[in-house]
């Protein structure tokens, strides 16, 4: 089994050789592929390899021998010779191809070293430097001493460069042409010597003038005339030079210098000045205020700040300071320091000048007291009530309402205890009747007629008519007659029916109030659908109106005493009705809702006027006996005077009360009116109405009457005037009435 | 039915434009717009109703009058701005391309006023437009002068070129020369901020502020570009105003400027005024260039004589130009009533002439610690021809020799030195004849503190020198610009003349307590407070303790002594008559004031809401003013009291 193993080993070696050959440089490959002989040889190689197993050591030597011999006698042999290789097999050995002129091999030059990419230094210890294609050693060329010795004897060959060709290891030889080329490249000349970069121009057009012109057109005129366009341009330039727009050239430094030296021109800009009227919108900047005493470097001592003032000033934000400086005192001028804020102050001034919006403000340089109206002194406006003359005590709970009798001798009042009381002026209670046990008496009003003595009072939904037994029999008799006059009408009157024939409920039921009350003098009762808040008589005393804000459609009702008849004049009202009054002389009817007062003509059945006092919630109003003016009190603390001829807006608004105004009332004969407020005070005004249409009413506040106590935020609830005297009576929430005179 | 009007189409909405709208319409940048506004004197307005004007809901917009902006559209400066802008664009484009030479060439065309101090444009036409008459320009001179005087004192920086400062200084000095020549300075005031000057030029009062000569501290964010824009305009304005003023005096403008003297800090002395015709050239020079030698003195005398002779025969044709401006043909005639019965009319007085010669007979010498520039200016403006000063204060002095016998007044601002030092310095005197010892006095002249000059000028007379001698504490320096208002506090008047009745009464109370209780100051204060509270009711407990010493009734004193011996219970009986009377007075006063108040309340009720607001506002300001005055009076009362006590 030994031989096969060895053969295998050899094969490995051979193969490695083969592969080495394959890895050799590309130059070799070309040689191999082109060489026919080698081709076939290489084909035979695998076969031959099997044979020369045993003595692989001899291979090199054998080869040497054969190759040498073959080299010697290749001339005589046909193309190849058969030689025995080391194993005794025959081997074709081809002769070297001589590349003659016809040969295809263009670059079969002298045999190269086939060591490939192996550095030459690997062969340093050998006498050869590689192998040729036939496996023969290429001997090292002579170097060193040997060469030196040789050089001594021979002269430098042509083309010697002293360089070594790295490929061959031989000295590199360059031809003269090659050297010239290199030189030209180095000096960056055109590599080819004979190249002419500037060849002679080949004249495409002839420069010779022909004798005969090609065109026979005559020469155009423009060729003989100076150009207009050019003349224009030149004129332009001339003008520019004349005007100094084009300057002769100067170096920039010189120009700079000249410019720096050139003086400003001074001339009288106001030589022919003419004053101009300033535009109306022109607002000149205000001048800075001149310095005051405190800005002095040595001010009077009282201008110097005290320690507290100084601290306060320093603590304050610089923006908030009233003055931007603190007065200071220096005992000599040399001690005055520079003012640190100077630049800043000037800067702020300039900002103000161009950035601050200007507005023209008219400063009133007048004595403020000249604004105040010249009020007549209260002494001139007398008489008006000033002091509390009598206090009427007797009611339990609040007194809601109070009223002077038409003759001015009696005062009727009603309160939360459900009673109606009549007082004489000295404060003595003369008559009392309890109308209701649970409902308070809301309003009492005397019939405005001196021939009768009838008091109308309201408790809840009931309207009572009483004839108190305090006057002469004749008067009482007449009064009773008036009250009873309507009984026939009430029963006989046609009962209104609805469309479907059913009985319609009348707006009010008129009846006797009951024997107990009748005995006391309360003779008649009318019951309406909702509880009544206010009551007002017509001037003749036949009609009276009631307002019950909660009764929706029937909130306002007009009652006829002589017929015991009640009517509802309005189907609907915008808002809750608050109060209603008859006009004192004309057939007008005023109804106040929360925000406005409407005036209706009862005869024509139409709306005449709508007044808008501007109050949020009207509490009550009263009409001036003249009929052209009207005062309105409101829960939002206002008292408003309306002039009916002037506008539907108030003529004067008075806000002197700190709480709601409850009641307002005109005096029937004197130019006075009063209002009652929850702040416990009455205010008396002098309100004079002149019949002249051109003159407005004069209103002067004359007196504040204080005396009522405030009980659960209610003060004075009602006020009424004496028919002739400047006396008034007020009803307070503290259970008293007060007579002021 | 009329067509429904759209909002913002008519009325106030059309009258005003916002700043942004204005800029868009003018097609310039915001800084250019700012410049234009400053120069053309265009300012924002406050419309009567901002809501009606503004088209947007934002409230904080500035509105310009639309006509103003429309008027700006035709401004030639606008074109200059646009040219400059396009040039800048070209330069930046060239730089972007890396074309440096092109950029440099273009840069040569660009005006850089912030570097050179010289713009390509002039503001002449703007001056003419803004101030159609010379008087208009004078009216607006306050800010101009203050600003230029400030800039003349500023150091030059990158934003404030040195040339600008030099020009400011020159213009202001020229203006001061005019004031000196025309004697139109009227008042001046030393404040803690600087020195205020007031001049009356052509009947217009011009007031300006000059900072003290210190390096200006720049605090806060001060934008010098804005100030520079103003200064550019003001410089043009003042140069035209100076020209007009100089020519009105018959002087040549610009005056001759001596560079060398200016470098030696001569300031005012660096200028030489010249007549328009060169007739008066020589005397001018002599007036300006003083040399401390007798030759010049003789020359001055000659000149004075000349001037006198000129005044005598004023119709001399050759001497038409009056440089000094003090003596003129058109003196104001006095109108004497020929017959009684006519109304007396206020007559103009030639104030300038008399005031201008206030210091004309004096020769001043300024010690080296005094501020030379303001003193020189104010002394010369009030007729002083000979002002000398120490050589360290700069060039241009009449004399630098302190021992010059011509000197009549010397302004000194240093504390007197002790005698010990004096002895020491005597040795030095021999070496330097020019300098004097710290405390040596030259006989025959008056030594004064600088405030004397200002107080004399403001009062129009030479004040008494002993009040202003060196080392004495000076009387207060009062502002001459405050106009006395009836009812306002005036520090020059005695306290008794200006306090209201009530205050006087209360003050008297205090006084008495002080005298009665003597030394006990703390208690005294308490009593004062109590008094103030109780006085309103008219019941003063402390008054019971009071003991009046005004009435020197022996018997009364005897009674008091007895009472004191007996004990305090008896004391209460001895309320003096005087105190009682005072109490009554106080009571009456308070009652009256209460009545007045009631009446006022009634009247106020009848005012309309608008008028009431106005009234209350006026009352508010008045009470504020009164409170300030009252405070001052109280302080003065206290100080006077303390002074009295210190004396006693």
A379 in contact with chain B, both atoms CB, cutoff 8 A: no
Average pLDDT over residues B332-354: 55
The candidate with the shortest Cα–Cα distance to B42, out of A354, A327, A214, A247, is A354
Instruction: Give the SS3 label for residue B209.
Output: strand
Mark yes or no for CB contact A303/B37 under 8 Å. no
Question: CA of B586: how far to CAs of A37, B504, B531, B598, B634, in Å?
Answer: 155, 11, 12, 18, 19
Of A28-42, A384-398, B344-358, which has the strongest mean pLDDT? A384-398
Beta-bridged to residue A566, according to DSSP, are: A559
Interface test with B, best of A259, A279, A297, A685 (most B CBs within 10 A): A297
Question: What are the angstrom distances between the C-alpha of B557 and each of A7, A106, B563, B570?
Answer: 165, 162, 10, 14
B363-366 and B409-411 strand pairing: parallel
The reply to whether A349 touches chain B by the CB within 8 Å rule is yes
pLDDT tens, A566-581?
888 888 888 889 999 9
E strand or H helix at B389: strand B386-389
| SS3 (DSSP) at A518 | helix
By DSSP bridging, strand A652-654 and strand A661-666 are unpaired
For residue B428, name the pLDDT band (cuts at 50, 70, 90). very low
SS (H, E, C) B78-125: HHHHHHHHHHHHHHHHHHHHCCHHHHHHHHHHCCCHHHHCCCCCCCHH
Residues of each domain in chain B carrying CATH 3.40.50.10190:
353-417+433-468
Pick from A706, A727, A701: nearest CA to A716: A706
Q: How confident is the model at residue B238 (pLDDT cuts 50, 70, 90)?
A: very high
Q: Which of A267, A270, A292 sits opposite B482 (nearest CB)?
A: A292
Interface of B with A in 614-643 (CB under 8 A): 614-615, 618-619, 622, 632-633, 635-636, 639
Of the listed ranges A67-81, B8-22, B239-253, B617-631, the least confidently predicted one is A67-81
Contact A364 B218 (CB under 8 A): no
Q: Do A340 and B219 touch (CB under 8 A)?
A: yes
Domain boundary among A79, A111, A140: A140
Whether the pTM exceeds 0.80: the reply is no
pLDDT 10s digits, B132-168: 999 999 999 999 999 999 999 998 888 788 888 999 9
Q: What is the pLDDT of residue B35?
A: 93
Query: Which residue from A655, A684, A657, A577 is spatially nearest to A621, judged by alpha carbons?
Result: A577
Are the C-beta atoms of residues B45 and B17 closer than 8 Å to each other?
A: no
Contact B190 A291 (CB under 8 A): no
Question: pLDDT per residue over A78-115, tens digit each?
Answer: 677 788 877 878 877 777 766 667 666 555 556 667 77
Whether the CB-CB separation of A486 and A510 falls below 8 Å is answered with yes
Q: Per-residue pLDDT averaged across A65-69, rounded?
A: 43
Residues A344-368, buried b or exposed e (16+ Cβ, 10 A)? bbbbbbbeebbbeebeeeeeeeeeb
CB B438 within 8 A of CB B421: yes
**What's the rounded Cα separation, in Å, for the pair A110 and A164?**
17
Cβ neighbors of B275 (< 8 A, separation 6 or more) are: B250, B251, B252, B281, B284, B321, B323
Which of A58-62, A210-214, B387-391 has the least mean pLDDT? A58-62
What does residue A676 show for φ and ψ, rounded to 5 degrees? -120, 140
Asked if B601 reaches chain A (Cβ–Cβ under 8 Å), the answer is: no
Q: Give dist(CA A592, CA A576) in Å, integer.
A: 8
The pLDDT score that the predictor gives to residue B343 is 59
Q: How confident is the model at residue A33 (pLDDT cuts 50, 70, 90)?
A: very low
In chain B, what is the greatest distance between 2 CA atoms, to the nearest angstrom?
Answer: 113
Parallel, antiparallel or unpaired: strands B386-389 and B363-366: parallel
Whether pLDDT at A235 is above 90: yes
Residue B202 contacts residue B135 (beta carbons within 8 Å): yes
- Which of these three, A140, A166, A199, is where a domain ends? A140
Q: Which of B300, B272, B264, B294 is nearest to B391 (CA)?
A: B264
pLDDT tens readout for residues B471-526:
888 999 999 998 887 778 888 888 877 777 777 777 666 655 444 444 444 444 44
Q: Does B191 touch chain A if contact means CB atoms closer than 8 Å?
A: yes
Last residue of a domain, one of A104, A120, A140: A140
Which whole number is the average pLDDT over B257-284?
A: 74
Contact A524, A563 (CB under 8 A): no
CATH code, domain carrying A401 = 2.130.10.10
**Residue A162 resides in a domain:** no
pLDDT at B90: 92
Question: What is the H or E stretch that residue A601 is in?
Answer: strand A597-601
Q: Residue A715: is the preceding peptide bond cis (ω within 30°)?
A: no
Count of residues making up chain B: 648
Say what the alpha-carbon torsion angle A288, A291, A297, A299 is, to the nearest 10 degrees.
-150
Compute the nearest-CA separation of A598 from chain B (Å).
27
**Contact residues on chain B for A333, CB-CB shorter than 8 A:** 190, 370-371, 413, 449-451
* pLDDT exceeds cutoff 90 at A207: no
Q: Which residues pair with B188 in a beta bridge?
A: B197
B353-417+433-468, which class in CATH? Answer: alpha beta
**Mutate which: A260, A263, A302, vs B, most B CBs within 10 A:** A302
CA atoms of A666 and A631, how far apart (whole Å): 8
| CB atoms near residue B164 (< 10 Å) | 23
Q: How far apart are CA A549 and CA A531, in angstroms?
A: 8
Contacts of B340 (CB under 8 A, 6+ apart): none
Residue pair A682/A730 in contact by the 8 Å Cβ criterion = yes
* Contact residues, chain B, for A283 at CB < 8 Å: 43, 45
Residue pair B271/B242 in contact by the 8 Å Cβ criterion: no
Residue B355: helix, strand or coil by DSSP?
Answer: helix
State whether A357 and B451 contact (CB < 8 Å): no
Domain holding A423, by residue range, is 379-493+503-740
> What is this model's ipTM?
0.78
Number of domains in chain A: 2
DSSP state for residue A507 in the 8-state scheme: S
pLDDT digits (tens, 9 = 90+) for B69-102: 999 999 999 998 888 889 889 999 999 999 998 8
Separation between Cα atoms, residue B247 and residue B224, nearest integer Å: 33
More confident site: A16 or B166: B166
Residue A332 placed within a domain: no
Interface of B with A in 472-511 (CB under 8 A): 473-474, 476-479, 481-482, 491
Option in A297, A327, A334 nearest B413 (CB) = A334
Statement: residue B24 has pLDDT above 90:
yes
pLDDT tens digits for range A300-325: 988 999 999 999 999 998 888 888 88
Q: How far is A359 from chain B (nearest CA, A)?
A: 5
Q: Is the peptide bond before A255 cis (omega within 30 degrees of 0)?
A: no
Cα angle, residue B122 at apex, residues B118 and B124 outer, rounded to 5°: 140
Would you call A343 and B218 a contact, using CB atoms and an 8 Å cutoff? yes
Instruction: For chain B, give percent helix, strand, coil, nearest 5.
Output: 55, 5, 40
Region of A244 (left: φ > 0; alpha: ψ -120 to 50; beta: rest) is left
Rounded mean pLDDT, A579-593: 92
Cα separation values, A676 from A437, A665, A671, B579, B604, Å = 27, 9, 17, 46, 21
B322 pLDDT tier (thresholds 50, 70, 90): very low
Helix or strand or coil: residue A640? strand
């Amino acid at each position: 089994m030994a031989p096969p193993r060895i053969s295998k080993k050899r094969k490995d070696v051979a193969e490695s050789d083969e592969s080495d050959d394959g890895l050799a440089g590309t130059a070799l490959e070309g040689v191999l592929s082109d060489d026919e002989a080698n081709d076939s040889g290489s084909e035979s190689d695998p076969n031959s390899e099997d044979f020369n197993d045993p003595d692989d050591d001899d291979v090199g030597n054998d080869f040497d021998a054969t190759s040498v011999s073959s080299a010697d006698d290749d001339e005589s042999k046909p193309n190849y010779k058969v030689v025995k290789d080391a194993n005794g097999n025959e081997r074709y050995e081809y002769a070297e191809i001589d590349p003659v002129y016809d040969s295809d091999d263009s670059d079969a030059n002298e045999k190269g070293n086939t060591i490939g990419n192996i550095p030459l230094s690997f062969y340093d210890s050998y006498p050869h430097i590689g192998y040729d294609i036939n496996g023969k050693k290429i001997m090292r060329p002579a170097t060193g001493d040997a060469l030196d010795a040789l050089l001594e004897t021979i002269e430098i060959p042509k083309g010697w460069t002293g360089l070594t060709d790295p490929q061959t290891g031989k000295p590199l030889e360059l031809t003269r042409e090659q050297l010239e080329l290199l030189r030209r490249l180095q000096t960056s000349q055109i590599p080819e010597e004979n190249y002419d970069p500037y060849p002679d121009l080949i004249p495409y057009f002839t420069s010779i003038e022909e004798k005969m012109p090609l065109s026979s057109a005559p020469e155009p005129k423009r060729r003989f005339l100076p150009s207009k366009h050019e003349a224009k341009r030149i004129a332009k330039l001339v003008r520019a030079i004349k005007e100094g727009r084009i300057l002769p050239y100067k170096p920039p430094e010189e120009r700079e210098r000249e410019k720096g030296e050139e003086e400003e021109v001074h001339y009288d800009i106001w030589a022919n000045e003419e004053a101009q009227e300033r535009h109306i919108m022109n607002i000149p900047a205000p001048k800075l205020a001149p310095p005051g005493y405190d800005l002095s470097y040595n001010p009077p001592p009282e201008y110097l700040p005290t320690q507290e003032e100084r601290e306060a000033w320093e603590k304050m934000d610089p923006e908030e300071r009233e003055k931007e400086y603190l007065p200071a005192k220096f005992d000599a001028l040399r001690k005055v320091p520079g003012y640190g804020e100077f630049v800043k102050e000037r800067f702020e001034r300039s900002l103000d000048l161009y950035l601050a919006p200007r507005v023209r403000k008219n400063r009133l340089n007048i004595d403020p007291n000249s604004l105040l109206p010249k009020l007549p002194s209260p002494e001139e406006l007398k008489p008006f009530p000033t002091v509390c003359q009598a206090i009427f005590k007797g009611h339990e709970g609040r007194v809601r309402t109070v009223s002077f009798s038409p003759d001015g001798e009696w005062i009727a009042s009603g309160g939360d205890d459900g009673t109606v009381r009549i007082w004489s002026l000295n404060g003595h209670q003369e008559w009392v009747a309890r109308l209701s046990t649970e409902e308070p008496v809301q309003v009492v009003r005397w019939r405005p007629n001196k021939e009768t003595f009838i008091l109308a009072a309201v408790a809840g939904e009931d309207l009572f008519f009483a004839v108190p037994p305090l006057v002469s029999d004749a008067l009482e008799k007449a009064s009773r007659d008036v009250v009873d006059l309507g009984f026939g009408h009430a029963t006989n009157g046609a009962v209104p029916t609805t469309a479907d024939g059913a009985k319609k409920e009348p707006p009010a039921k008129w009846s006797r109030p009951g024997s107990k009350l009748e005995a006391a003098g309360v003779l008649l009762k009318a019951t309406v659908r909702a509880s009544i808040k206010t009551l007002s008589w017509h001037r003749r005393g036949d009609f009276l109106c009631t307002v019950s804000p909660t009764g929706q459609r029937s909130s306002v009702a007009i009652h006829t005493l002589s017929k015991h008849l009640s009517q509802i004049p309005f189907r609907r009202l915008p808002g809750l009705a608050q109060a209603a009054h008859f006009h004192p002389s004309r057939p007008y009817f005023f109804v106040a809702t929360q925000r406005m007062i409407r005036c209706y003509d009862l005869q024509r059945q139409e709306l005449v006027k709508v007044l808008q006092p501007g109050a949020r919630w009207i509490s009550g109003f009263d009409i001036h006996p003249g009929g052209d003016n009207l005062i309105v009190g409101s829960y939002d603390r206002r008292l408003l005077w309306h002039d009916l001829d002037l506008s539907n807006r108030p003529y004067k608004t008075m806000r002197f009360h700190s709480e709601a105004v409850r009641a307002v009332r005109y005096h029937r004969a004197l130019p006075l009116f009063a209002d009652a407020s929850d702040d416990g005070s009455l205010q008396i005004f002098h309100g004079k109405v002149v019949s002249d249409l051109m003159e407005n009413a004069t209103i002067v506040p004359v007196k504040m009457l204080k005396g009522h106590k405030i009980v659960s935020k209610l003060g004075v609830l009602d006020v009424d005037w004496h028919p002739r005297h400047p006396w008034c009576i007020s009803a307070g929430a503290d259970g008293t009435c007060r007579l002021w005179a | 039915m009329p067509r429904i009007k759209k909002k913002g189409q008519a009325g106030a909405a059309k009258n005003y434009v916002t700043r942004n709208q204005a800029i868009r319409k003018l097609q310039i940048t915001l800084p250019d717009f700012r410049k234009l506004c400053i120069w053309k004197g265009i300012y924002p307005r406050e419309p009567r109703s901002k809501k009606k004007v503004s088209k947007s809901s934002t409230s904080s917009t500035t509105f310009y009058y639309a006509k103003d902006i429309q008027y700006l559209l035709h401004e030639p400066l606008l074109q200059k701005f646009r040219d400059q802008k396009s040039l800048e664009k070209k330069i930046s484009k060239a730089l972007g391309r890396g074309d440096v030479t092109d950029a440099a060439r273009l840069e040569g065309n660009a005006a850089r006023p912030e570097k050179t101090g010289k713009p390509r444009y002039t503001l002449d036409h703007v001056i003419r437009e803004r101030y159609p008459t010379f008087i208009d320009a004078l009216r607006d001179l306050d800010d101009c002068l203050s600003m230029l005087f400030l800039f003349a004192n500023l150091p030059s920086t990158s934003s404030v070129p040195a040339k600008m400062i030099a020009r400011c200084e020159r213009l202001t000095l020229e203006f001061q020369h005019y004031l000196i020549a025309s004697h139109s300075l009227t008042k001046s005031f030393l404040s803690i901020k600087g020195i205020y000057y007031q001049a009356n030029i052509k009947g217009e009062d011009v007031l300006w502020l000059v900072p003290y000569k210190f390096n200006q501290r720049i605090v806060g964010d001060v934008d010098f570009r804005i100030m520079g824009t103003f200064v550019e305009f003001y410089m043009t304005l003042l140069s035209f105003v100076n020209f007009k003023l100089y020519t009105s005096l018959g002087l040549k403008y610009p005056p001759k400027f001596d560079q060398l003297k200016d470098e030696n800090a001569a300031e005012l002395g660096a200028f030489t005024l010249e007549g328009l015709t060169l007739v008066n050239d020589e005397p001018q020079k002599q007036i300006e260039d003083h040399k401390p030698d007798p030759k010049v003195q003789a020359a001055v005398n000659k000149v004075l004589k000349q001037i006198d002779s000129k005044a005598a025969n004023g119709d001399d044709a050759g001497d038409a130009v009056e440089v000094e401006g003090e003596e003129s043909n058109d003196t104001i005639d006095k109108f004497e009533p020929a017959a009684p019965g006519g109304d007396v009319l206020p007559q103009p007085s030639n104030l300038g002439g008399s005031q201008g010669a206030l210091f004309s007979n004096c020769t001043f010498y300024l010690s080296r610690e005094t501020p030379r520039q303001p003193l020189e200016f104010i002394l010369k403006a009030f007729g002083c021809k000979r002002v000398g000063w120490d050589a360290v204060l700069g060039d241009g002095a009449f004399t630098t020799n302190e021992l010059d016998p011509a000197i009549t007044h010397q302004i000194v601002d240093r504390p007197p030195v002790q005698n010990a030092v004096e002895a020491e310095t005597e040795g030095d005197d021999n070496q330097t004849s020019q300098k004097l010892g710290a405390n040596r006095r030259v006989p025959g002249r008056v030594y004064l503190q600088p405030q004397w000059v200002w107080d004399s000028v403001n009062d129009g007379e030479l004040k008494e020198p002993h009040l202003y001698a060196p080392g004495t504490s000076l009387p207060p320096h009062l502002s001459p610009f405050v106009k006395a208002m009836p009812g306002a506090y005036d520090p020059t008047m005695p306290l008794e003349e200006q306090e209201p009745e009530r205050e006087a009464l209360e003050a008297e109370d205090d006084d008495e307590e002080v005298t009665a209780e003597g030394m006990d100051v703390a208690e005294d204060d308490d009593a004062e407070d109590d008094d103030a509270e109780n006085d309103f009711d008219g019941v003063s407990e402390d008054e019971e303790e009071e003991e009046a010493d005004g009435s020197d009734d022996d018997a009364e004193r005897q009674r008091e002594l007895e009472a004191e011996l007996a004990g305090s219970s008896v004391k209460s009986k001895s309320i003096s008559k005087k105190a009682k009377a005072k109490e009554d007075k106080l009571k009456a006063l308070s009652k009256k004031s209460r009545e007045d108040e009631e009446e006022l309340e009634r009247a106020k009720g009848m005012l309309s809401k608008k008028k009431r607001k106005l009234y209350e506002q006026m009352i508010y300001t008045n009470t504020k003013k009164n409170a300030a005055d009252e405070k001052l009076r109280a302080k003065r009362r206290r100080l006077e009291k303390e002074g009295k006590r210190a004396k006693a």
